[in-house]
Amino acid sequence: MFHALATSTRRDILRRTIEREQSVSTLASEYEMSFAAVQKHVAVLEAANLIVKRAEGRERLVRANPEMIARARALLARYEELWRSRIARLDDLLAEPAPTQNESKEED
């Protein structure tokens, strides 16, 4: 999932398909790259289940998968909570007064 979100083009495709379902050709028209390159980006997002692609006649329509996006958001929230907790513990350790020279010698 995070590999799929690693490039700005894929993040932009996801953003655009959250707003509304779009054809791959409509998506491709917004980028300065080949249609085939955009298709590859779409395929990576589809493999990560971040988007759903369906055929309608000759067009391939793409829309975001809100369930997978919610799962990604929840996972990121858990990571954020974990790191905030670690940073808070580090802040607490750094806020403790350093032992004085006399206290250090007494412990030896």
More confident residue, 102 or 19: 19
CB atoms within 10 A of CB 73: 10
Element (H, E) at 22: strand 22-23
> How far apart (Å, rounded) are the C-alpha atoms in residues 13 and 67?
17
> How far apart (Å, rounded) are the C-alpha atoms in residues 36 and 50?
19
As a whole number, mean pLDDT of residues 31-35 equals 95
| pLDDT value at 80 more than 90 | yes
- Phi/psi of residue 48, each to 5°? -85, 0
pTM above the 0.85 mark?
A: no
| pLDDT value at 106 more than 60 | no
As a whole number, mean pLDDT of residues 25-30 equals 95
**Average pLDDT of the chain?**
91
> How far apart (Å, rounded) are the C-alpha atoms in residues 57 and 53?
13
Q: What is the reported pLDDT for 107? A: 58
Percent of the chain with pLDDT over 70: 94
Q: What is the reported pLDDT for 104? A: 56
Which CATH number applies to 8-65? 1.10.10.10
